[in-house]
Structures are given as C-alpha cells and as structure tokens.
C-alpha cells in the first residue's frame, strides 16, 4: 500500500530553468531578496550542462552549489534531461511534476516562452505543463526517482511514497533573456552585488580564459552588461536595479493610492 507523502517543508518560490546559471542571470536577485525576507526558495535546473564549451559537469555542479549558497536558496537540484535537447515530452513533464509535488512551491518562476536558445523557450512550456500535471488528483507519481512500484523491493517500496497532488498558486516568467516589455519588475537594488557574486561563482564559465573567448565575454564586460540590464529595468520601476517579469494574469488593486511606480 502506498501512502501519501507528507511534505517536510514546502518552498515559497521555485525557479525552474534549462541550464545551471540561467537563474543567476535572470532572477537571482529576486530569489536572494525573497530569502532575505524569510521566504524558502529553490532552484530546479533541468540539465547538468554537459554540452558547455567550458568546464565539466562536475565543475558546474560544484559552481551551482556555491551559487546556491550565495543566493541563500534552501533547495537546488539538477535533473538529467540532456543539455541542448530539452524537449517537452511526457517523460520530462513527469520529472518536473514530481519535483513540484515534492517541493510544493507557492510561486514558480519559469523562463519566458520565446527566445534564441531552444532549451530556454522549451523549458517554459515544459514547466507550465508540468505544473498543470502536478495538480491532477488522479495522476499517480511516486517519489524516490519515480521507479514504478512493481519493480521495487519492500524496503524501496516503503520509501517510494505516493506524492500528493500540488499545483502552484502563481506562475511568473523571467524575461531578462528576451526583449519584451515586462508586466512588473522586482527591485533588486539591495541584492544586486551579491547576486553578481553568485553569477561569478561559475568560474569555469566567466573567469577570463583562452577557451571559447570569442563566445564568452571577459569578466569586466559581463559586469557592464549585467549592470546595464539591471539599471534599465530599474529605470522602468523608478529604482536603481531591477529584474523583469511577466505575468499572464491582470494585476489586482485594493487601494489606488498605494500603486507603485510614478506616472509623470
């Protein structure tokens, strides 16, 4: 008999992205800010970065763990979806849905659904459909890597508890990789510097070196770009630095006098 798993501690915010370092680039400041406000945050990387020009999978795993520490995330995991081949298949949707049920996030941050890199825009649809599946009461998903119960011995079966359905309340899209007008920005003025350090934790990707130097800009250049983007979105929100997001729903307002961002 399988039992319903009781979650130990659910996440307030879970950011899902195709590659290790995507979250650091698109919404790391927001995650850090949430953690500083006492929220429990997490990151799910869909791939392990084995196609990267620089560094091994092990390098990137270590760097991702360092970055997670800097951003104060409570939970981080990388799935085994092939790098450069993120596909919206039933199997991949179930992998992500299992994580949604295990971590039970209130808010999920997905990549924006358009972009240059197919892994990025596919991760968006894959993530959305996985959030939907995770809430289906009649869909059985088993924890512990999800082996079908028939193939488990009794010890494994005891661990393989059925995960109860969960659907996040809110899904928002991080739009920094794409030129689209955000529906809101998050003020990261206070967390910008530390968030930049989290990005620099990916030493195999961002330290100045010979391999792939036509593809990878030097550190000073990355600093300038990161700052320019954060400043641009900051300007839109009337603050110094910000990160852009899009929500499909309309905004709900209780008191007109408290709507932020000056009009004139």
Residue nearest to Zn ion (CB): 19
The answer to whether the beta carbons of residues 4 and 161 sit under 8 Å apart is yes
Closest-CA residue to 96 (of 127, 140, 136, 58): 127
| Minimal distance, residue 56 CB to Zn ion, in Å | 17
Q: Burial level of 171, CB count in 10 A (0-12/13-18/19+)?
A: buried
Count other C-beta atoms under 10 Å from residue 207's C-beta.
12
Nearest CB to Zn ion, comparing residues 46 and 160:
46
19 near Zn ion, judged by CB under 5 A:
yes
Nearest CB to Zn ion, comparing residues 22 and 243:
22
# binding residues, Zn ion (CB under 5 A): 2
54 near Zn ion, judged by CB under 5 A:
no
| Minimal distance, residue 67 CB to Zn ion, in Å | 14
104 near Zn ion, judged by CB under 5 A:
no
3-state secondary structure at position 174: strand
Nearest CB to Zn ion, comparing residues 19 and 195:
19
Residue partners of 190: CB distance under 8 A and separation at least 6: 33, 36
Contacts (CB under 5 A) with Zn ion, residues 20-49:
22
DSSP-derived letter for residue 162 is B
Nearest CB to Zn ion, comparing residues 29 and 49:
49
Q: Which stretch binds Zn ion (CB under 5 A): 16-24, 198-206, 230-238, 253-261?
A: 16-24
| Minimal distance, residue 25 CB to Zn ion, in Å | 8
Q: What token pair was written down for 119?
A: 């892994």
| Minimal distance, residue 40 CB to Zn ion, in Å | 25
3-state secondary structure at position 48: coil
Nearest CB to Zn ion, comparing residues 19 and 98:
19
Closest-CA residue to 134 (of 161, 106, 168, 159): 168
What torsion do the CA atoms of 88, 202, 51, 18 make, to the nearest 10 degrees? 0
Q: Which stretch binds Zn ion (CB under 5 A): 14-22, 129-137, 168-176, 217-225?
A: 14-22
**Residues interacting with Zn ion, by CB under 5 A?**
19, 22
């Amino acid at each position: 008999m399988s039992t319903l798993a009781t979650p130990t501690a659910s996440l307030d915010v879970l950011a899902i992205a195709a590659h290790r370092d995507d979250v650091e680039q698109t919404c790391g400041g927001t995650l850090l800010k949430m953690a500083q406000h006492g929220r429990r945050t997490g990151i799910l990387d869909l791939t392990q970065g084995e196609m990267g020009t620089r560094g091994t999978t092990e390098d990137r795993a270590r760097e991702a763990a360092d970055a997670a520490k800097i951003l104060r995330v409570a939970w981080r995991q990388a799935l085994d979806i092939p790098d450069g081949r993120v596909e919206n298949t039933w199997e991949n949707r179930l992998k992500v849905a299992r994580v949604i049920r295990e971590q039970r996030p209130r808010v999920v941050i997905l990549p924006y659904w358009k972009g240059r890199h197919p892994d990025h825009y596919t991760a968006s649809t894959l993530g959305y459909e996985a959030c939907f599946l995770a809430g289906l009461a009649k869909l059985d998903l088993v924890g512990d890597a999800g082996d079908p119960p028939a193939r488990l011995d009794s010890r494994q079966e005891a661990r393989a508890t059925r995960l109860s359905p969960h659907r996040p309340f809110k899904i928002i899209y991080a739009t920094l990789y794409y030129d689209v007008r955000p529906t809101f920005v998050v003020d990261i003025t206070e967390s910008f510097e530390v968030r930049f350090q989290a990005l620099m934790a990916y030493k195999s990707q961002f330290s100045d070196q010979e391999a792939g130097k036509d593809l990878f800009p030097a550190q000073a250049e990355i600093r300038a770009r990161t700052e320019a983007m954060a400043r641009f979105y900051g300007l839109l929100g009337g603050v110094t630095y910000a990160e852009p997001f899009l929500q499909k729903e309309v905004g709900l307002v209780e008191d007109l006098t408290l709507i932020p961002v000056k009009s004139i």
